[in-house]
Structure 1
């Protein structure tokens, strides 16, 4: 039987969850980072603290933005694993592409993640992306142009969409931000 007792969101727990979501072993991460299996295991158990250089290598080995490994806000003990307050969302990515993403999930230990995405006016994904996920998005405000496989759509408030392990691209050529909530499985951040 699986224990669903929430665990505190820690750097080590997030690294372990990301590694497992990507189907990687400790040995594979160790080889990609130039560190030992034992040391990676200690980091995942919060027994060793990685340097910034180590974090950069770990994030690269996991194919994740380094920023997801930061921004652990203090959460009251009774809320850990259950509640994410609006002012305590973890920002993901750099926002350089005009996309600001915040993690709505309490941590990265589930089989899915929920993300709040704000697409700035004029923002566009630099190139088509393809990842082994299933994703559902729900538009809160604004409009977004999507290309999923060979099909093109414009979605707006109240619309939802699904991407199943398909190449896709997004753009917001409009004058107002577009805001969406995405559910992604398995987690990619």
Structure 2
């Protein structure tokens, strides 16, 4: 069976569709939130229509992602799109929690998982535990990080890895150096 793929399958539209589906929203749910027609949204998801900057802001808000994540979409040359993410072309994702910078290492959000580069600033933490319907595995590249998983605190060192399966967790970096971790999250949440 032969499937003809479009020249650039990894697009803004594909990411929007993946984000919408990961949030359990139908086309009509999201269109209603945006005050736009289902037809318009469907065109955007199929890259037949180019959303305005204002549209992108509304879409980002409705999907709870940063606008910059949607803006930084066409960084890769055509030959690398969907395959390679250069260090300088990573897309910022996640919320703007003070002290945490998250960048998408995956080319887009159309896989069953996403890979994220997280940098935790020195002397930073989140106070409220996060709980999400995911399986996550992380690997600490540098620095030290304390992770509280299901109420138990763990000290994580470079080379250590950890797993979180839907438990409430929070991170704390009480140290004087940034901590850098790679996270794999399934299904994608950003």
> In structure 1, the residue corresponding to 2:124 is in which secondary structure?
coil
For the 8 Å contact 2:140–2:180, the answer to whether it is kept is yes
The answer for the alignment partner of 1:18 in structure 2 is 19
Aligned residues: 189
Aligned positions of 1:1-189 closer than 5 A: 7-93=8-94, 95-189=96-190
Deviates more, 1:100-109 or 1:46-55: 46-55
Give the TM-score, by structure 1 length.
0.90
For the 8 Å contact 2:148–2:171, the answer to whether it is kept is yes
RMSD across aligned positions (CA): 2.2
Cα distance in structure 2, aligned partners of 1:149 and 1:7: 42
> In structure 2, the residue corresponding to 1:77 is in which secondary structure?
coil
Per-residue deviation, 1:104: 0.7
Deviates more, 1:7-16 or 1:111-120: 7-16
TM-aligned CA distance change 1:185 to 1:2, over 3 Å? farther
> In structure 1, the residue corresponding to 2:184 is in which secondary structure?
strand
TM-aligned CA distance change 1:28 to 1:2, over 3 Å? farther
Deviates more, 1:17-26 or 1:99-108: 17-26
